[in-house]
């Protein structure tokens, strides 16, 4: 009988608090009070409510996982410095963003575009370091990869906060939380997924259960999102801040989208851990059939169908070509991974550990995805007059929810574990990816404002 390794219990919220805990809490409350004093007049009632809820949430998170305290503090200081530098570049209409971005520290480090580019570079360096440690079987590159990942999360958070500030300086009716287009949500996906991985890495390390090597797999999906984000920014000028379309001018967006991407990120993390699990446990024949066959069946057949349809609209034909290139890259990656499975397996955790991480990630993701789906229904009622309309995006969101609900049911009720659960998790990533991107590329509906 396999033994499920347990991570250490989370820090109790009721344990005796240290002076550092209370200093952190007071700092968060002080920043919240300053925010109301400085920007309260520009907030509506919903933004004030969200800000009030954010303070105890930040305190609870900092008490739950202490590294977040330093992330919050560093992000606050970096964003404050950026805002102070922007405020040095003013004209008769307020902050001159173009002039502010020419200041040295803004141009190369602290403007939202610069910070997000640093995020991209640091995540790439982290991925390379993790894979170097995995293939060379050395701990030092793995440690460097972890530090680079933390630095990337830090720069992403600064870029997100500064971009929020920048949007408000363009015009009061343009300012919005930066989760409104594919460029912004892929930044969110990249740093949220990385932050969750760093949490699991730290939590299991404290229990003496090293997750060495798994970071290489997780950072691959992060780098895929970063590569897409950069391509999208270059081809669509998506890094420029644009006014919101009417459907997105809602306070629901501020909570629905982040909750959704916690789900997306943890589902992706679980799938990459499942890949490491399968490399250790599946037979070579099963790996070749599964890892090569699944992408061909799930992505190749629809592409073939679109191609045979003929007379494709230009946008659809372009989407087919892009997806075909992506499919070729996925297949090439899987071939290389299968060929190198020997060195890889020698420096990844036991299957029981991978299974435990996979389960925990899916459980967290399912909870947040459920919340996001409910919030999305309320948002739809406000925007379109109905909670559910069987729009393609909504239909595929329901498919994703049912997929992971069934996975968790089989796990908890029937003890589902092992190779089948890992394959299911990996296929779940394909389903989730289509729900997020495939619908945007090939289908239309009420969510067509998110088309590629």
* Strand pairing category for 90-91 and 94-95: antiparallel
CA distance 146 to 148: 5
- Average pLDDT on 146-169 reads 94
The pLDDT value given to residue 3: 45
Per-residue 3-state assignment (H helix, E strand, C coil) for 44-91: CHHHHHHHHHHHHHHHHHHHHCCHHHHHHHHHHHHHHHHHHHHHHCEE
The pLDDT value given to residue 331: 66
Portion of the chain with pLDDT greater than 90, in percent:
45
Query: Is pLDDT above 50 for 1?
Result: no
Q: Give the pLDDT confidence of 360-389 residue by residue, as tens digits.
A: 999 999 999 999 999 988 888 887 777 778
With contact defined as beta carbons under 8 Å apart, do 350 and 4 qualify? no
SS3 91: strand
Q: Count other Cβ atoms within 10 Å, centred on residue 222.
A: 27
Q: Give the pLDDT confidence of 64-114 residue by residue, as tens digits.
A: 999 999 999 999 999 999 998 998 877 656 677 888 888 899 999 999 999
Report the predicted TM-score, pTM, of the whole model to 2 decimal places: 0.88
Q: Give the pLDDT confidence of 295-318 residue by residue, as tens digits.
A: 666 555 555 555 555 545 555 555
H or E segment to which residue 90 belongs? strand 90-91
Q: Give the pLDDT confidence of 398-422 residue by residue, as tens digits.
A: 999 999 999 999 999 988 888 999 9
Per-residue confidence band for 6, with pLDDT thresholds at 50, 70 and 90: low
With contact defined as beta carbons under 8 Å apart, do 434 and 327 qualify? no
Q: What is the CA radius of gyration of the chain?
A: 22
Average pLDDT, whole number, for the chain? Answer: 84
The pLDDT value given to residue 4: 47
With contact defined as beta carbons under 8 Å apart, do 366 and 261 qualify? no
Q: Give the pLDDT confidence of 345-354 residue by residue, as tens digits.
A: 888 899 999 9
Distances, alpha carbon 394 to alpha carbons 371, 377, 387, in Å: 14, 9, 10
Q: Identify the burial level of 192 via C-beta atoms within 10 angstroms of its C-beta, where 0-12 means exposed, 13-18 middle and 19 or more buried.
A: buried
Query: Is pLDDT above 90 for 424?
Result: yes
- Average pLDDT on 243-258 reads 82
The pLDDT value given to residue 249: 77
CA distance 403 to 381: 25
Q: Which of 12-16, 204-208, 389-393 has the lowest mean pLDDT?
A: 12-16
Q: Which of 33-37, 44-48, 190-194, 304-308 has the lowest mean pLDDT?
A: 304-308
- Average pLDDT on 211-225 reads 91
Tokens of 151: 């630095």
Q: Give the pLDDT confidence of 426-435 residue by residue, as tens digits.
A: 989 988 988 8
Per-residue confidence band for 391, with pLDDT thresholds at 50, 70 and 90: confident
Contacts of 277 (CB under 8 A, 6+ apart): 351, 354, 355, 358, 419, 422
The pLDDT value given to residue 207: 84
CA distance 219 to 232: 20
Closest CA to 204 of 321, 355, 331, 86: 355
Closest CA to 247 of 391, 45, 435: 391
Cα 240 to chain centroid, rounded: 21
The pLDDT value given to residue 149: 97
């Amino acid at each position: 009988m396999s033994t499920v390794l347990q991570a250490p219990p989370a820090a109790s919220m009721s344990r005796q608090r240290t002076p550092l805990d209370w200093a952190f809490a007071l700092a968060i409350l002080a920043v919240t009070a300053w925010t109301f004093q400085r920007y309260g007049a520009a907030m509506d009632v919903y933004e004030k409510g969200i800000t009030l809820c954010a303070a105890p949430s930040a305190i609870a998170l900092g008490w739950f996982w202490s590294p977040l305290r330093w992330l919050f503090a560093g992000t606050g200081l970096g964003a404050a410095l950026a805002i102070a530098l922007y405020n040095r570049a003013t004209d008769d209409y307020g902050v001159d963003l173009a002039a502010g971005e020419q200041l040295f520290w803004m141009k190369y480090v602290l403007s939202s575009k610069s910070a997000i580019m640093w995020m991209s570079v640091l995540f790439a360096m982290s991925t390379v370091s993790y894979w170097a440690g995995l293939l060379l079987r050395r701990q030092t590159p793995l440690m460097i990869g972890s530090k680079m990942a933390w630095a990337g999360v830090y720069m992403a958070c600064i870029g997100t906060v500064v971009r929020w500030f920048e949007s408000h300086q363009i015009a009061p009716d343009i300012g919005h939380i930066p989760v409104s287009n594919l460029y912004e949500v892929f930044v969110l996906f990249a740093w949220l997924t990385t932050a969750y991985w760093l949490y699991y890495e730290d939590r299991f390390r404290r229990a003496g259960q090293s997750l060495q090597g798994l970071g290489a797999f997780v950072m691959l999906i992060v780098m895929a999102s970063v590569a897409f984000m950069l391509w999208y920014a270059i081809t669509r000028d998506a890094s420029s801040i644009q006014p919101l379309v009417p459907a997105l001018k809602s306070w629901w967006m501020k909570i629905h989208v982040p909750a959704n991407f916690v789900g997306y990120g943890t589902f992706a993390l679980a799938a990459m851990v499942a890949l490491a699990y399968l490399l250790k446990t599946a037979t070579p024949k099963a790996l070749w059939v599964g890892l090569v066959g699944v992408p061909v069946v799930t992505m190749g057949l629809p592409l073939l169908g679109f191609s045979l349809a003929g007379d494709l609209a230009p946008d659809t034909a372009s989407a087919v070509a892009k997806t075909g290139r992506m499919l070729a890259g996925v297949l090439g990656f899987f071939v290389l991974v299968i060929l190198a499975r020997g060195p890889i397996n020698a420096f990844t955790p036991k299957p029981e550990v991978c299974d435990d991480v996979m389960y925990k990630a899916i459980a967290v993701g399912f909870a947040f995805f459920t919340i996001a789906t409910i919030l999305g229904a309320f948002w739809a009622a406000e925007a379109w007059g109905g909670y559910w309309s069987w729009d393609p995006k909504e239909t595929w969101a329901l498919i994703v929810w049912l997929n992971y609900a069934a996975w968790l049911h089989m796990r908890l009720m029937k003890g589902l574990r092992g190779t089948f659960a890992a394959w299911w998790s990996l296929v779940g990533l394909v389903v989730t990816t289509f729900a997020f991107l495939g619908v945007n590329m090939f289908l239309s509906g009420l969510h067509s404002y998110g088309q590629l």
